[in-house]
Amino acid sequence: MSTRNGILAGAGRPGARKLRYAAPVVAAIAGLGFAAAADAALYTGNGATGFGGSIGGASMTVTDDGLGNINFTLNSGSFSGNALVLYLDTKAGGVNDTSTLTDNADGGRTAASGLSGSGRTLATFAPGFGADYALVVEPQFNFAGVFDILNVPSNFNFNQSANFGSAGGNPPYTFSVSRAALGMSATDPLSFEGTLISPSGYRSNETFGASVTTPGTAGDTPNAGFTGTTTFSTADVYAVPEPASAGLLGLGSMVLVFRRRRGA
């Protein structure tokens, strides 16, 4: 009787190896639904460097915890003093640009609307994208929160805290949103487009989602400034795999591993 790769290979025990593999395969199949709920996706900035590249050169991981929350981990340079605004498309309707948004009661709301005492900087969204909410991230205030930009465009409702987290005040930054508070089901996809802008309303050319920036004045180049425009051509979309699809994929992987190990 001998062993091969640590597995019993003795004659006269044809069922031995089947039983050794059956338990882990069944356990893995049973856990597929839970594993699918934590599926992660990675998104990158547009490569622009108008404000130094903190967002243009960033990456962001998005996951669903299976408990009704979407979690973000932003690996970026420090952008303290500025705000990352992620416009969220979570349901039918929404605005196609920020021209109707006029709330500038504080820095976060100014960043979301683009309207300041120095003018209007416009964000125009990709075809088919309708923004319902603005997720504003301001590391200098240890803050991330969601504003309802549709309820009253001149007085955004605060929708939810986004649970800002940071190691010692430095990147990576973490934040999360509740699906239910955004009117989303457990499987609805989340579309988003992001812009880096100062709380005084001066917009950079750094975005999540492909975009083209038109400076307000020659002196603003390459940024939009207080009066220029950032026009998105694509949005980033996070979608949780349907449990049935994820289960079939996982099962296929397990069967492949099982067959390989049987033939080892």
And the tokens for 257?
């591993």
The answer to whether residues 167 and 229 belong to one domain is yes
Q: What share of the chain is helix, strand, coil (3-state, %, to 5)?
A: 20, 35, 40
254 and 138 fall within a common domain: no
pLDDT at residue 243 in the model? 59
**Quick one: 103 and 16 in the same domain?**
no
Flag whether pLDDT at 216 surpasses 60: yes
pLDDT (mean) for 144-154: 94
Which pLDDT band, with edges at 50, 70 and 90, does 17 fall under?
Answer: very low
Span 55-62, mean pLDDT?
Answer: 98
Rounded to the nearest 10°, the torsion over CA 53, 39, 127, 113 is -50
The answer on 253 and 230 residing in a single domain is: no
More confident residue, 167 or 141: 141
148 and 94 within one domain:
yes
Which residue range is the domain that position 22 belongs to?
3-35+243-262
Cα(124)–Cα(31) distance, integer angstroms? 42
pLDDT of residue 180 exceeding 60, the answer is yes
pLDDT band with cut points at 50, 70 and 90 for residue 242:
low
Residue 21's pLDDT is what? Answer: 34
- Same domain for 23 and 44? no
Q: What is the average pLDDT across 143-172?
A: 94
pLDDT tens digit sequence for 93-103: 999 999 999 99
Return the pLDDT at 10: 36
Compare 10 and 116 and report the one with higher pLDDT.
116
Alpha helical stretches, state H, the chain? 16-30, 32-37, 107-113, 243-262
> pTM score, two decimals?
0.79
pLDDT at 151: 85
Asked whether residue 90 falls in the same domain as residue 64, the answer is yes
> Does residue 167 surpass a pLDDT of 90?
no
Q: Does pLDDT of 7 surpass 60?
A: no
Examine the domain organization and report whether 168 and 248 are in the same domain.
no
Higher pLDDT, 71 or 34: 71
Q: How many domains does the chain fold into?
A: 2
- 114-134 per-position pLDDT tens digit: 999 999 999 999 999 999 999
